[in-house]
Structure 1
Amino acid sequence: MKLITSNEQLLSLLPNMVTTVKGEALLFDKMTPFLSATEKWLEDNFTSEEVLSAIADLEASHTTRMLACQIAAYDAFHRAIPHLDVILTPNGFGIVSNSNIAPASKERVERLMASLLEHRDRLLMQFQPLLTAFKGWTESVQGRFFSATMFPNMDVTLRFLKPSGSRWEKFLALRSAVIPVEEFFARQYLSKEQLEVFRSEVLSGQYRSTRHQSICRILQAVEVRCLLNSDPTASMHFEHDALFDIVNTIRDNPEEFPEWHSSATAELYAPAVFENKKESLGYWF
């Protein structure tokens, strides 16, 4: 493991943990398989193996490393909770209990698990934008995953009612729903080339101009309206006016949007000009 490597470090990241006494198994030992699973989850979905290693090599006080460790602790503990109070005896499974501490109710455990996910996801919203600072991340599989839409960060979930599950799962659902909407917008209005520029700018937070930034904000608002509908691909057809306004801005400023002007989509907005020739079947004097 790279992020959390000792029992002391783990206990410092989890509140209200009772320190083990001599002869008891350390919490870190019990949590090792869950911590390993969490690091693999972070590598596969957010950082890449190389970037996670780079984060682990940062100073312990570095913001990115602190966030990664806290995320790992919350996620691993959430994974471990269903197993921590169950033991296997020669006679079958039993519940860990003693006369001093009463087992928590099912409702309290469920609230704890939900709270762990909420805290983890809030930290992920802060953590994921910091990954663009690491060399090679934007071009990685994980970086390309987040740059595939106009919403590269989980904070888009804050524009909707609080999900019943985790915000990460809500983000994945929103991402899947908005992809066909953006494909339609690219095909009919913005072009694939120009939309890729906008996505890259939103991911990095660096915009070519204030006009680019304004269009990105408008486009995000349009897509949120679509996503609020039960059928986003149906509602996208009602956004013609907003999209056409964006196209007009792009047409009027070719120096700021060369990608659009050199795209096949631009030809949709350049109708053929009729030439009056004598050899034509119909000729107007």
Structure 2
Amino acid sequence: MEINIGKSDFERALPVGTSAHEEVFEGIAPAIEQEIALTKLNILGDAGEERLEEAGKESVLYQSCVHYICVTAFLSVLRQLDLVLTPTGFGIVSTQEVSPASKQRVDALDGTLRTRRLQLLGMLLNLLRSPKWGETKQANQSIAYLYDEYTFFLRGKATNLTYQDWNSMLSSIESADEYLRSRISDLQMDEVLRLYRRNETEKVQKFIDKIVRYTDVFASKGMSIANQIALRNVLNIVDSDLDTFNIYAGSSAYKANHHENFQNTKESSAFLFNG
């Protein structure tokens, strides 16, 4: 699908100001074209482009994609531009009488854009989730964990989270996922993640909710606290529905969790004889 981005699209995408001088858009236009190509290659793929086509240019999906591209492109060239920042917008320094924005103001804009980029990425990926896109390499690369950008920025109640908060959260997301895989099995976690990417979570949504809760507790209070009530709630979900979580039911993780009783028989190498 062809993605066309004009100056008005660029202005609407940015979380700061209301207008950009023509020279700003001209300066960023090559970066926008490059980012369109990268987004198609790394995020959309053929299946994602089909979803954009089906949704139409007035859809939330298409607009989220356009805004993500604009913000990402602007970030890539932000520090190369001699910007003038005003309460209503920004331009590029064109005379010696006008000084570029201070480093402090550019840093603040950079931080705002980085946060907005992650929010838009979360929205875009959440809207792309579908049976066809969910089986693509783009889906596998973009949604690596059940706790993703959408969960962090848009699903919770907090509204003041920043890209720095997300960066701090990443290690907990990775560590929590690694530990849960040891308790539930890699194959079962991969299957739930596949269903999440496909947006077919009806039977596993409660499990995903408990995973999110476990990860939040893991990040805020540490592993030892998370492995009390939060972990128990996760395991209760899978243990109470072994038909849905049948991969887990047949795994060594299930056996380890339930400490199968040792059978003291003559055939056992550790047979105990009480005469």
TM-score, normalized by length of structure 2? Answer: 0.71
Equivalent residue for 1:155, pick from 151, 157, 176: 151
Structure 2 CA distance for aligned equivalents of residues 114 and 245 of structure 1: 36
Q: Distance in 1 between matches of 2:131 and 2:181?
A: 29
Structure 2 counterpart of 1:274: 264
What is the rounded CA distance, in whole Å, between the counterparts of 1:185 and 1:254 in structure 2?
Answer: 17
How far 1:67 sits from its partner (Å)? 1.5
Stretch of structure 1 that moved more, 261-270 or 114-123: 114-123
Name the residue aligned to 1:130.
127
**Residue 248 of structure 1, CA deviation:** 4.8
Q: Does 1:220 align with 2:245?
A: no
Q: Which has the larger radius of gyration?
A: 1
Query: Aligned-pair RMSD on alpha carbons?
Result: 3.8
Residue 121 to residue 271, structure 1, CA distance change in 2 (3 Å): same
**What is the alpha-carbon distance in structure 2 between the residues aligned to residue 195 and residue 3 of structure 1?**
35
Paired residues of 1:201 and 1:207 also in contact (CA < 8 A): yes
Distance 1:12 1:208 in 2: 35
Unaligned runs of 5+ in 1: 21-25, 87-93
Q: Report the Cα distance in structure 1 between the residues aligned to 2:76 and 2:40, rounded to whole angstroms.
A: 17
Q: 1:44 to 1:126 in 2, by over 3 A?
A: same
Percent of aligned pairs sharing the same letter: 15
Distance 1:102 1:205 in 2: 50
Counterpart CA distance in 1 for 2:159 and 2:13 is 29
- 2:123 corresponds to which letter in structure 1? Q
Report the CA distance shift for 1:44/1:275 in structure 2 as closer, same or farther (over 3 A).
Answer: same
- Cα separation, 2, equivalents of 1:75 and 1:266: 43
Which is worse superposed, 1-10 or 173-182? 1-10
The reply on whether 1:191 has 2:188 as its aligned counterpart is: no
Is residue 2:71 matched to residue 1:81? no
Q: Point out where structure 2 has 5 or more consecutive residues left out of the alignment.
A: 84-91
* CA distance in structure 2 between the partners assigned to 1:111 and 1:119 by the alignment: 12
Residue type at the aligned position of 1:17 = A
Q: TM-score, normalised by structure 1?
A: 0.69
Letter in 1 for 2:95: S
Distance 1:130 1:173 in 2: 25
Relative to structure 1, the CA distance from residue 175 to residue 198 in structure 2 (aligned partners, 3 Å threshold; closer, same or farther) is farther
Shift, 1:221, TM fit = 1.1
Contact 1:152 1:203 in 2 (8 A): no
Most deviating of 3-12 and 265-274: 3-12
Secondary structure at 2:20 match in 1: coil
Name the structure 2 match of 1:90: none
Letter in 2 for 1:196: D
CA distance in 2 between partners of 1:121 and 1:249 (Å): 30
Supply the distance in 2 between the matched residues of 1:41 and 1:199 (Cα, whole angstroms).
24
Deviation at 1:282, TM superposition (A): 1.2
Give the paired residue count. Answer: 256
Q: Could you tell me which amino acid in structure 2 is paired with residue 197 of structure 1?
A: E
State how far apart, in whole Å, the 1-side matches of 2:131 and 2:201 are: 19
User: Hey, what's the Cα distance between the residues in 2 that align with 1:275 and 1:82?
Assistant: 73
